């Protein structure tokens, strides 16, 4: 086997929650002496500093970004599972704005946190568009998986959207319910609310087509 297709479900508590993110993995002839090549199905959208619109995955384990020690691919003990877990936990995280190396120094600063919230709003919009793209163009052999996932999760996704439109911070979804990270902070921007409202009906329509209720 030299080609593998994987899907990662966006983690709760992040702007990627309940989304589906597809990756194609190619094992070159000299694998595992060198890392595999990974392509992200972006749908033309960039929703993370490490995931390019062209499909490039920027990760030290893949030798597409400089790293140190165990951050780099090691032919003796690095694995595909390690790569996928790194993408899910380290790339698709709660504050992807700070994945950009030039912004690391802004962590826990008022300016940095403000920019991070704005980035999360834009990211969730892109994540919703990615959901629509996956529903309309499911990757081959994952058609049933995509339909079943959104049949089960569609209601929770729409519930989160309604909370966000009301002003709750992006990423406040916990389990099957919605909890405000800060019940006093209803600080989502008006532009975000408008953009999400425009997408909401499209999500309802696509989820309903798969048998999900709102």
Q: Give the active site residues.
A: 58
CA terminus-to-terminus distance, the chain:
41
Contact 194, 138 (CB under 8 A): no
Give burial (CB, 10 Å; 0-12/13-18/19+) of 44: exposed
Using alpha carbons only, give the angle 213, 141, 23 rounded to the nearest 5 degrees. 90
Q: Please, what's the b/e burial string for 163-201 (b: 16 or more CB within 10 A of its CB; e: otherwise)?
A: bbbeebbbbbbeeeebeeeeeeeeebeeebeebbeebbe
Cα distances from 68 to residues 31, 104, 111, 150, 172, in angstroms, run 20, 17, 29, 38, 33
For the CA atoms of 84, 86, 92, 98, the dihedral, rounded to the nearest 10 degrees, stands at: -160
Backbone φ/ψ region at 141: left (φ over 0), alpha (ψ -120 to 50), beta: left
């Amino acid at each position: 086997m030299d080609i593998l297709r994987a899907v990662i479900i966006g983690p709760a508590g992040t702007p990627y929650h309940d989304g589906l993110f597809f990756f194609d993995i190619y094992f070159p002839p000299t694998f595992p002496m060198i890392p595999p090549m990974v392509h992200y199905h972006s749908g033309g959208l960039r929703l993370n500093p490490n995931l390019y619109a062209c499909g490039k995955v920027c990760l030290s384990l893949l030798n597409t970004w400089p790293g140190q020690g165990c951050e780099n691919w090691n032919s003796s003990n690095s694995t595909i599972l390690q790569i996928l877990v790194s993408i899910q936990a380290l790339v698709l995280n709660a504050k992807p704005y700070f994945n950009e190396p030039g912004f690391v120094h802004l962590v826990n600063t008022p300016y940095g946190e403000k920019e991070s919230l704005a980035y999360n709003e834009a990211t969730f919009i892109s994540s919703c568009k990615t959901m629509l793209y996956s529903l309309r163009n499911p990757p081959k052999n994952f058609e049933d998986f995509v339909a079943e996932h959104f049949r089960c999760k569609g209601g929770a996704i729409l519930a989160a959207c309604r909370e966000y439109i009301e002003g709750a911070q992006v990423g406040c979804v916990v389990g099957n319910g919605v909890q405000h990270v800060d019940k006093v902070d209803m600080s989502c921007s008006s532009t975000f609310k408008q953009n999400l409202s425009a997408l909401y009906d499209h999500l309802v329509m696509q989820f309903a087509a798969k048998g999900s209720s709102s």
